[in-house]
Structure 1
Amino acid sequence: MKKIKITLFLLVLIGITSCDDFLSEKPDNRTEIDTPEKISELLVNAYPQESYLDFAETMSDNVFDSGLTNTLRKNEQNYNWEIQSETDTDTQAAYWDACYSAIAHANKALEAIEELGSPKSLNPQKGEALLARAYAHYMLVSFWSQRYNPATADKDLGIPYVTKPETVLVAKYKRNTVAEVFDFIQKDIEEGLPFLTNDYSEPKFHFNKDAGKAFASRFYLIKGNWDRVIELSNDLGSKPVGKLRDYAAYKLDDFQTQNMRYAKSDEPTNLLVVSPESYYARASYSGTSAYRFFLSGTRYNEILGAGTNIFGKSWLYSIYSRNSFVTAFVPKFYEYFKYTNVTANIGQGFLAEVLLSNDEFFLNRIEAHIMKGQIALANTELEYFMATRTTGYTATTDILTQAKVIAKYPVIDNEYTPFYALTPVQTSYIKAIAETRRRDFIHEGMRWFDVKRFNIEVKHEIFNQPTNILTKDDKRRALQIPLHASSNGIETNPR
């Protein structure tokens, strides 16, 4: 299939045939989505086929200037919170397009279900389509809008929430407000959750029941609905034995096996896995693929070094380096390269990525308990989580207490400023959770979401240049609308 870019304005009834073939066919010759099997095939593409990990991680405070002499333009632009001039794989524009393409597939599936009379037998497909549509819109509003704040959400620019398949070649869209987008997402989540099923040959490649609840918990955490987060996560309990990532077992594997194992569908913690086109696994390589702005070997100790663990011990994560520790990394990514021409040595690289996991789900639960003032329960849960990440953890001595959390994560005035109020104790615990999440999802872009919702200031240093500071409420926290979208009428973000 010839590869083409699908923009927000060219999401024209994408079927399960080739995009080029589909758009060249007369309407009456196009594939009709008129059976459950065809709807299920359509939903395979209802997940973004591009990756956000690269740009999300690079914008966060996990990344430093390694001093490498080669500088990739997109890597530098992400580091400086600039609009990207490139539109190929692993860029902001590519992810924008991929999200709206995923939405188009979900909308077409929903339309087909409705045209078939919405029988109960198609409820699993309906549930998957609704959750997939909600997820893609959620990711778009998380990147291209300012953080959710109920006091301003009805005025803040959101993104277009698309609920119908395209019927014209070029459709003009108006940006919904952040409040409207969140209302639409919540509606899709709550309608779709009861319909989700685990009845797939490979459940981890679909919005199965647990994946749906994990995504919903992320959404309600952002909204501050702590009771709903706890309700959704009740099946995990306070000690989810066998459901979290087993880093002690990973230590027994070689480097390549760890890379391959991280995103495998049979890992108990992994709830939703995708394989978009991506070359992000090469970011730490030597040579021209290496990123100058990455987890620098000279600075990685600040994040993953001994003593940064809440028990004052080392993390269980395996840490590797290239270029004599110019860059450091935790093995998580295995690139599958599919050759399209072996003789010419060309093809496409695909990366297995974990979009949702029990690890995140459980941390969401702990955070909700903290916000409900249930500190003793949060201690139990956080201690259990940290036990699975701590080298030499000893249950009789490594006991998490409020005093220990406050001492490790003291309150710093105006450091964490979500839209809701925090007591001093809650502030220390929320910081503990955020710093734990920061390390657990290193390289995966998750830190950027906490930077936004907690309004954390980020300083990016560049050798021989002034430090670039992303201040609180900085307008650059909302990515600029891709050029090809703004040139077709999408309102840009203020700068």
Structure 2
Amino acid sequence: MRKIIYTTGVVVAMAILPSCKKYLDIVPVGKVIPTTVEDFRKELDAGYALSDQDKGLAAYRGDEIRVNESSSGDVNQVFNSFTWDENGSSTGNTYNWRSKYQQIFYANHIIAAVPAATGGTDEEKDQLIGEAYLMRAYVHFNLVNLYGNAYNEATAATDKAVPVVTAVDVEKVSRRNTVKEVYNQVFADLDKGMSLMNVDNYPTAQSYKFSKVVGQAMAARVYLYTHQWEKALTAAKAVMGQKNTLIDFNTSTVLPTLYNAIETIQARELIYNTGTSRAMIVSDKLFSLYNATGDLRLQLYYGKDSKGNNIIKKISDNNSYRQSFRVGEIYLTAAEAAAQLNQPDVARTYLNQLKQHRLTPAFFATEQARIAALTGKDLLNEIYDERARELAFEGHRWFDLRRTSQPELVHKLKGKIYTLKAGDPRYTIQIPLEALANNPLLKE
């Protein structure tokens, strides 16, 4: 079946061919029409538009959420994720494997074709190609953290993950690459993209695009996930050299997850859709992490529904709530990396700078004194708890649990108890059945 995608005046011919048994299912047919730099910019914008709410769905696998069982239709969307059984019988949402490889297709096509494009300056071409490299890096990074084991230096070279795709090749059927191979490609694409881009920051209306500062924020996250603490700290400092302003909740009620908030670094991903946002209630475990009187996030982030349940105000399926990277995360990345490097004073400095903007002055003074006594694992655990408080429902918690302690989790739904054991293999999501059916090599 041929599928024609219209991208703001640019037509890209694609095909969805289940009979070909290819893992990707999206291949070019005939000629791709874009020829000018402007055309290719519109094609990349089509890739930017493919934000698939995978992190919001993955949040249901963690410990932030209780399911709102009265929202029965929405429960069906999240049931498989909440019970750690993505290939189960529920007709729920998926993590959009196909959409992710479609984004990679756009990136690959632009990387290959833009050098010969007409119109535009060399600087515009370089920026466009650089953004495509970063898009490819980010999608591969998200894929390996959904479908590959958490990064482990001892096993990364043998742990199977996902196919790495770096060219538009309609004949190639790919096996799964290892976790290390995927990350090697992510790093290579990050380096190449950063070497080409010449835009430091885009204006708010275009903050969904990759820029130099966004690339540094992505690097900080990737280095953190791969335990490269010195590089993570260096990248975080580079971001803060360009963008370091935190919203002070003592004087402002602006949510940091709004696309136009001062903390925004990249506002691309819409984390939740209507179903996944309506099905959630704040878990008691998460709510208990906040101080009831001194933590200003309780009033700003949360509210009550008609039944007295704690609900979330900082997220929505509204387009205004788009976030991929923001300043609050960067402070926490710097704190964690410094703690791992046995630099407790540096870690406390970044942690306290964030807390000062989130707590009442009286409670901050108490917290500052408490944190001054923390070292080693106690300090690191405090930083993890602060990530849970600060970045709640922004698509980080499940991945933080995966990359750190992988604790036992217990979920309750419709009178049944579901348990994810500590270190359970289900901390890695199964490749979708449709992809397995279309490419048997993914089973190897």
TM-score normalised per structure 1: 0.76
Aligned CA distance change for structure 1 residues 186 and 455 (closer, same or farther; 3 Å):
same
Structure 2 residue aligned with 1:415 = none
Q: 1-side partners of 2:60 and 2:80: how far apart? A: 9
Q: CA deviation at 1:486?
A: 0.6
Q: CA deviation at 1:238?
A: 9.7
| Aligned residue runs from structure 1 range 81-480, under 5 A | 81-84=84-87, 91-94=93-96, 96-116=97-117, 119=122, 121-168=124-171, 171-196=172-197, 197-198=199-200, 200=202, 202-235=205-238, 243-251=245-253, 258=255, 262-264=257-259, 266-274=260-268, 279-280=273-274, 283=276, 290-291=278-279, 294-296=281-283, 301-304=287-290, 306=292, 315=298, 317-333=300-316, 335=318, 352-393=321-362, 398-400=367-369, 402=371, 404-405=373-374, 425-462=375-412, 467-480=417-430
User: What letter matches 1:82 in structure 2?
Assistant: D
Report the AA paired with residue 167 of structure 1. V
CA separation of 1:426 and 1:316: change in aligned 2, threshold 3 A: farther
Aligned residue identity for 1:488: N
Distance 2:217 2:2 in 1: 33
User: What is the rounded CA distance, in whole Å, between the counterparts of 1:199 and 1:443 in structure 2?
Assistant: 26
Aligned to 1:74: 77
List per-residue Cα deviations over 1:371-409 (Å, max 9, x = no partner): 11111121122111111111344666552455544xxxx
Residue aligned with 1:399, SS? helix
1:484 and 1:134 map into 2 onto residues whose CA distance is 24
Q: Structure 1 segments of 4 or more deviating over 6 A?
A: 2-6, 20-26
8 Å contact from structure 2 (residues 27, 170) kept in 1: no
Write the distance in 2 (CA, Å) between the matches of 1:356 and 1:396.
29
- Cα distance in 2 between the residues matched to 1:491 and 1:355: 32
Q: Which amino acid aligns with 2:340?
A: M
Q: 2: distance between equivalents of 1:199 and 1:178?
A: 31
Q: Which residue type is aligned with residue 43 of structure 2?
A: L
Letter aligned with residue 434 of structure 1: Y
1:456-487 CA distance string (max 9 Å, x none): 21322326756422223311111111111010
Structure 1 residues 269 and 84, CA gap change in structure 2 (3 angstroms): farther
Aligned counterpart, 2:56: 54
In the alignment, the residues of structure 1 paired with residue 340 and residue 28 of structure 2 have an alpha-carbon distance, to the nearest angstrom, of 55
Deviation of the 1:273 alpha carbon: 1.2
TM-score (norm 2): 0.84
Residue 63 of structure 1 and its aligned partner are, at CA, apart by: 1.6
Aligned-partner Cα distance in 1 for 2:252–2:353: 18
Distance 2:157 2:4 in 1: 32
Say if 1:439 and 1:398 are closer, same or farther in 2 by CA, change over 3 A: closer
| Structure 2: gaps (5+ residues) | 17-25
User: CA 1:369/1:167 → structure 2, altered by over 3 Å: closer, same or farther?
Assistant: same
Give the C-alpha shift of residue 333 in structure 1. 2.2
Q: Structure 1 residue 219: deviation in Å?
A: 0.4
Shift of 1:155: 0.9
- Mapped to 2, the partners of 1:179 and 1:163 lie a distance apart of 16
Q: 1:221 to 1:200 in 2, by over 3 A?
A: closer
Q: Deviations over 1:213-249 (max 9, x none)?
A: 00000001111111211221224559976x2234344
* Identical-residue share of aligned pairs (%): 21
User: How large is the RMSD of aligned CA atoms in angstroms?
Assistant: 3.6
- Give how far 1:364 is off: 0.8
Counterpart for residue 22 of structure 2: none
1:489: which partner in 2?
439
Query: Quick one: distance in 2 between partners of 1:237 and 1:199?
Result: 13
Distance 1:39 1:199, change over 3 A: farther
Q: 1:147 to 1:491 in 2, by over 3 A?
A: farther
8 Å contact kept, 1:60–1:447: yes
Conserved 8 A contact 1:74-1:85 = no
Q: Is the 8 A contact 2:63 2:286 kept in 1?
A: no
* Higher mean displacement: 439-448 or 226-235: 226-235
Describe the superposition over 1:249-307 as per-residue Cα deviations: whole angstroms up to 9, x where unpaired: 443x6xxxx5xx7322x322111112659524x546xxxxx42x5324x6663244527
* Consecutive unaligned residues in structure 1, runs of 5 or more: 7-14, 285-289, 337-350, 406-424
Aligned length: 426
